[in-house]
Amino acid sequence: MDKLKIVANGALNGEIVISGAKNAALPLMCAGLLSSGTLRLKNVPMLADVKTTQKLLQGMGARVLTDNISEFEINGSTVNNTCAPYDLVRTMRASILVLGPTLARFGKAQVSLPGGCAIGARPVDQHLKGLEAMGAEIVIEHGYVKASAPDGKLKGTRIHMDMVTVGGTENLLMAATLAEGTTILENCAVEPEIVDLAECLIKMGAKIQGVGTRTLTIEGVSELHGCEHSVIPDRIEAGTFLCAVAATGGKVLLRNAAPKTMEVVLDKLVQMGAVIEAGSDWISIDMQQRPKAIDLTVDVHPDFPTDMQAQFMAVNAIAEGESQITETIFENRFMHVPELNRMGANISVKGNTAMIVGVDKLSGANVMATDLRASASLIIAALVAEGETVINRIYHLDRGYENIEAKLGGVGAKIERIR
């Protein structure tokens, strides 16, 4: 199993090109199931989760072509299987996103229940409740969600989601594009990745109003067509590199970034002492001091993203002062804490709040990556720790970061993949 070996090498300096957003690419690929035309996606990151989605779509009969660099062509005209099997779904929770499009287009779908994952229970009740409101009959049998639309079509209706859910909003939005009549989705998530999906669906012929707000109104159409769409830049990848520089010091320019999608994160970095400048598609960070500890509370967009919580915790761990980080989205997203403490951090957890006392230095150790963003926090800690750090189980990292060792190596980090 691959590991990462990292030895602190001082400040990071140079340029990094940001990849397309994983969390936008996955739902966009699933949207390919909605039409018999060809969906051309550009700026797709080549990640393990993207490959899993490719396999999932191919398993359902879709034609999927890729240049293995950054482009995908998905053609849904040959889809002949409406089942998403356990083997693929279990490795990637986002597989549930094939449910809405498949049910809407073919009147039936069968998707393995994703089940729990390390960071929390993560049920899909809101996805199912919304589809039922649109007339779907749903049973859970043998670990599968089996859904059918009585006369082959979902029906538009008003749906109020009990909580703000990214995947739930995406699934119901996609389903509503092909439903009969008008669907009003209330209490929607407004993450930039949802805006990206809505914009692509509109290019495919969907009629959607309220994009970027908590209420989406979708007038169903009888069919969608293909289109070309470029995936938005990954705000979490960009934020992770900015945190790395906040910890090590230095001056780095991020290209192909989307600063408008990450304003809260940039504000927090400024509070930590970083000098941030940004244009429409670039961000620069200049960090010439020890970071100052900052408090933060995670919440749904436009507030601070849960996917950046672990990385900021790593910076706070070596910052000047004490801080608190409160997680409100996932109940078990502090698994990086014991690993950071093994490297000399001083972090304690009470309920959903972590108390961090900044230490002068961390020391390299053998640590275990427990989930995607937790792995990123261990990399940041390792970049400033004395001695050598070996991060085990980095398959988590490969799910969400494209060429991370090459990108960090390019700005001066001593980081190498070992087996």
Cβ(397)–Cβ(261) below 8 Å: no
- Minimum CB distance to ligand UD1 smaller for 284 or for 334: 334
Cβ(195)–Cβ(177) below 8 Å: no
Quick one: which of 253, 248, 219 has its CA closest to 238? Answer: 253
- Minimum CB distance to ligand UD1 smaller for 303 or for 386: 303
**310 lies in the binding site for ligand UD1 (CB under 6 A):** no
Per CB under 6 A, which of residues 185..214 are in contact with ligand UD1? 189, 193
Least gap, CB of 7 to ligand UD1 (angstroms): 30
Least gap, CB of 292 to ligand UD1 (angstroms): 26
**336 lies in the binding site for ligand UD1 (CB under 6 A):** no
How is residue 232 written in tokens?
Answer: 């938005």
Active centre residues (catalytic): 117
**125 lies in the binding site for ligand UD1 (CB under 6 A):** yes
* Side-chain-side CA neighbours of residue 17 (13 Å): 7
| 6, 8, 23, 224: residue in contact with ligand UD1 (rule CB under 6 A) | 23
Cβ(261)–Cβ(223) below 8 Å: no
| 20, 76, 100, 167: residue in contact with ligand UD1 (rule CB under 6 A) | 167
**127 lies in the binding site for ligand UD1 (CB under 6 A):** yes
Which span sits near ligand UD1 by CB under 6 A: 2-10, 124-132, 138-146, 245-253?
124-132
Least gap, CB of 23 to ligand UD1 (angstroms): 3
Least gap, CB of 121 to ligand UD1 (angstroms): 6
- If you write DSSP's letter for every residue of 4-48 in order, what string do you get? EEEE--S-EEEEEEPPBPHHHHHHHHHHGGGBSSEEEEES----H
- Minimum CB distance to ligand UD1 smaller for 349 or for 390: 349
Q: How far apart are CA 4 and CA 382, in angstroms?
A: 10
Which span sits near ligand UD1 by CB under 6 A: 125-133, 150-158, 282-290, 390-398?
125-133
How is residue 268 written in tokens?
Answer: 């927090």
Which stretch of DSSP H or E encloses residue 323? strand 322-326
Cβ(130)–Cβ(172) below 8 Å: yes
Q: How far apart are CA 186 and CA 184, in angstroms?
A: 6
CB atoms within 10 A of CB 23: 26
Q: How far apart are CA 400 and CA 50, in angstroms?
A: 9
Which span sits near ligand UD1 by CB under 6 A: 123-131, 209-217, 311-319, 378-386?
123-131
**94 lies in the binding site for ligand UD1 (CB under 6 A):** yes
Per CB under 6 A, which of residues 352..411 are in contact with ligand UD1? none
- Minimum CB distance to ligand UD1 smaller for 144 or for 330: 330
How is residue 304 written in tokens?
Answer: 């601070």
- Binding residues for ligand UD1, rule: CB under 6 A, are 23, 26, 93-94, 120-127, 163, 165-168, 189, 193, 306-307, 329-330
